[in-house]
Structure 1
Amino acid sequence: MRRFVLAAMMFGAVSSAQAADMPDFLRGSLPAGPAPTRNWSGWYAGGQVGYSWTNTDYGKTVVSMTNDLFRSTTLQAPVSQLTLLGRVNGQSPAFGAFVGRNFQFDDIVLGVEANYNYLSSLATSTAASLGPIQVAEPTLVLPAGATAADGVTLKGSAALQVKDEVTFRGRAGWATGDFLPYIFGGLAVGRMDVTRTVSSSVTRTINFANGTSTSFQLPQFALTTTDGRSNNFVAGWTAGLGMEYMLWDCVFLRGEWEYIKFLSIKDSVVTQNSVHAGIGYKF
C-alpha cells in the first residue's frame, strides 16, 4: 500500500512539471471556466417588429344605448339582459421601438422600460339582429281575460380599431452568460377608434279571452341611435416574459410575448396577445 501511495505522488509531481513546461499556446487552448456574466446595467434603446392578436368582447356594447331607448319603461330591464353582439378576433403586424434603463445586482437585473407599437390593421367589427323577443306587459289595462306582450326586435353593429399603444413596464431578469431571461408588468395605454349603432322596433300583441288577437307597431320605439369616438386613449395593464441575448459588446437581440387587457371603452373590452422580435443597443 505504501508503494502505491508513493507511486501516485510521483506521478502527480511529474504531471505538474509537464504542465508547467507546456507552451503557452497549448495551455491557453485548454477549456476554461464558465464565461463571465455580461454587464447589463445602463441605458438601452432599440427597434422591434411583431404580430398581435386581439379579442374584442362586444357583448355589452349596446346595453347603455338600449337602456336609453327604453328608458323608464317596462322593457328597459328585460332588454338590457339580451346579448345582441358577441366576441370577434382580429390580428395585425406591429412595428415599434423601446427605451429603458437596467440596474444590475450580481446576476439579478431590474429595470424600467417604455415600449411603443404601431398596429397597421388591428380592427374588428360585427353586426347582428335579435328577435322578436316576447316580453309580457302585465301592467296594461285590458278587457277581462286578455293578455298582452311586446315583441322586441334589435339590430346592431359595432367596430373598433386599436391604432397604436405604449406600455410602461417594470422588469426583473436573471443574467446568465450572454442571456437575460426576464419578466415584466406595468401600465398600457392604447389609442382606439370605436363606433356602435342599434335600432329597435316593438310590436305589441293583445290576446283576447275569446281566442282572437290583434298586433300593432309601437312607433315610439322605432328608433335608431349611433355613437362613436375617435382617438380615444384607453388605459389597461400588461404582463409578459422575454429573452435577450448579447450579440456583441453592446448590441443585443430580444424576443418576447406580451399580454394586454384594456379597460372598457363604449362598453367594449379588448384583450391582446403579441409576440415581438427586436434588436437593441446598450449605452
Structure 2
Amino acid sequence: MRSLVMAVSVFGMVSAAQAADMPDLPVLRGGLTEGLNGARANWDGYYVGGQFGYGTSDMDFSGGQRALTNYIFRNTELQSPTSNWSVLNKQHVQGSSFGAFVGRNWQWDDAVFGLEVNYNYMNRMAGASSGTLGPILVPASGAPQNHVYNYSTTISAGSALTIKDVVTLRGRVGWAADNFLPYVFGGLAVGRMEVSRFATTNVQLRDDYTQTVTITGLGTVTNTTTTYSPLAGVSKTYGESRTNSFVGGWTGGLGFEYMMWGGLFARGEWEYVKFMTVKDTAVTLNSFRAGVGYKF
C-alpha cells in the first residue's frame, strides 16, 4: 500500500512539471473562441478613396426653346400661345465616370454617422435634341371688315447639354456589422455643365379676304382670297450658350463598405441626383460606382 501511494505521488509531480514546460496557448486558457473571431473594424475617423462607375442621365429638352421664343415674341400676340409649344423631346444618355471622395466618420456603438465630399468626372454624358413645329395658325387681331387675320407660325429649335463633372456634399448614416457597413446618404449637389440652344421663327401674316358679288344670271357668289405677308420683326434666329454653367440640386442613395485589411476598405453604391432646371431643361442622373478607400 505504501508503495502504491509513493508511485501515484511521483506520477503527479512529473505531470505537473511537464505542464509547466508547455507553451501558453490560448486553447489551454479557454480562449479559442475569442482567437477565431478576430478584431472588429473601427469605422471612426477620416478616410479618402477613389472610384469609377457607370451612369445614365435623363434630359428633358421639351421646353428648351421656350425662353428664346418668349424673347422673340415679347409684347406680341404670339408670346402667350407659343410658350406652351413643345418642339424638342427627351433624351436618355449614358457614360462612364471616375473620381475621388474624402470624409469623416463618427461611431457610437454600432451606429456610424458621416460627412463626405464626393467628386466625379463624367465621360461622354451628353445629349441633344432638335426639331421643327408648324406652320400653325395663331389668331391675329386688327383685321378690317371681310378680312380674317392669322399668324402662320413655324418654329425650329435645337438644344444640347453635357454634364462635365459633379460635386456632392453628403451626410450619411450606417450600421456597422463587424467589417461590413451598409449606409444611406443624402445631401446637396453641384454639376458643371455645357449648355447651348437656339430657336428660329418664321412668321407670316395670313389674310383671308372674303368678297361677295352678284353676277347676272348666277346670283350671289362668295369668293375668298388668301395672301401671305412676311413679318420681319418676329422672324429671326436667337441663341445662347455657356461653356461652364454651375447647376445646383440634391442627391440621395445607398451603398455599403467592407473593411478588407487594416484601414483598407472596398465600396459599392448607387446615387441619384436631381438638378435644378438649366436653360429650360430638366436633368437627372443615376450612377452606380465601385471604389477603394483607406480609413486613417
Does the alignment reach a TM-score above 0.5?
yes
Instruction: Write the distance in 2 (CA, Å) between the matches of 1:28 and 1:105.
Output: 27
Aligned to 2:127: 124
Q: Determine whether 1:262 maps to 2:275.
A: yes
Instruction: Write the distance in 1 (CA, Å) between the matches of 2:51 and 2:84.
Output: 44
Q: Give secondary structure in 2 for the equivalent of 1:124.
A: strand
Preserved contact between residue 143 and residue 149 of structure 2 (Cα < 8 Å): no
Q: Give secondary structure in 1 for the equivalent of 2:189.
A: strand
Aligned to 1:143: 145
Preserved contact between residue 173 and residue 184 of structure 2 (Cα < 8 Å): yes
Which deviations, in whole Å up to 9, do the C-alpha atoms of 1:94-148 show, x marking residues without a partner? 01000000000101000000000011211111111100111111x213233x312
Residue 59 of structure 2 is aligned with which of 21, 32, 56?
A: 56
Preserved contact between residue 65 and residue 198 of structure 2 (Cα < 8 Å): yes
Q: Determine whether 1:244 maps to 2:257.
A: yes
* Equivalent AA in structure 2 for residue 105 of structure 1: W
Instruction: Write the distance in 1 (CA, Å) between the matches of 2:209 and 2:88.
Output: 35
* Equivalent AA in structure 2 for residue 217 of structure 1: P
Aligned to 1:109: 112
Q: Give secondary structure in 2 for the equivalent of 1:211.
A: strand
What is the TM-score when the length of structure 1 is the normalising length?
0.87
Aligned to 2:295: 282
What is the CA distance between 1:219 and its match in structure 2?
2.1
What is the TM-score when the length of structure 2 is the normalising length?
0.83
| Structure 1 stretch displaced more, 203-212 or 227-236 | 203-212
Instruction: Write the distance in 1 (CA, Å) between the matches of 2:40 and 2:27.
Output: 26
Instruction: Write the distance in 2 (CA, Å) between the matches of 1:64 and 1:185.
Output: 32
The count of corresponding residues between Structure 1 and Structure 2 is 260
| Structure 2 spans left out of the alignment, 5+ residues | 1-25, 211-222
Instruction: Write the distance in 2 (CA, Å) between the matches of 1:36 and 1:82.
Output: 64
Preserved contact between residue 35 and residue 177 of structure 1 (Cα < 8 Å): no
Residue 70 of structure 1 is aligned with which of 69, 73, 77?
A: 73
Q: Give secondary structure in 1 for the equivalent of 2:125.
A: strand
Preserved contact between residue 88 and residue 157 of structure 2 (Cα < 8 Å): yes
Residue 223 of structure 1 is aligned with which of 230, 236, 240?
A: 236
RMSD, aligned α-carbons: 2.1
* Equivalent AA in structure 1 for residue 142 of structure 2: L
Aligned to 2:9: none
Which deviations, in whole Å up to 9, do the C-alpha atoms of 1:19-56 show, x marking residues without a partner? xxxx9379766698976642100000000000111111
* Equivalent AA in structure 1 for residue 49 of structure 2: G
| Structure 1 stretch displaced more, 202-211 or 116-125 | 202-211
Residue 49 of structure 2 is aligned with which of 46, 65, 69?
A: 46
Preserved contact between residue 69 and residue 221 of structure 1 (Cα < 8 Å): yes
| Structure 1 spans left out of the alignment, 5+ residues | 1-22
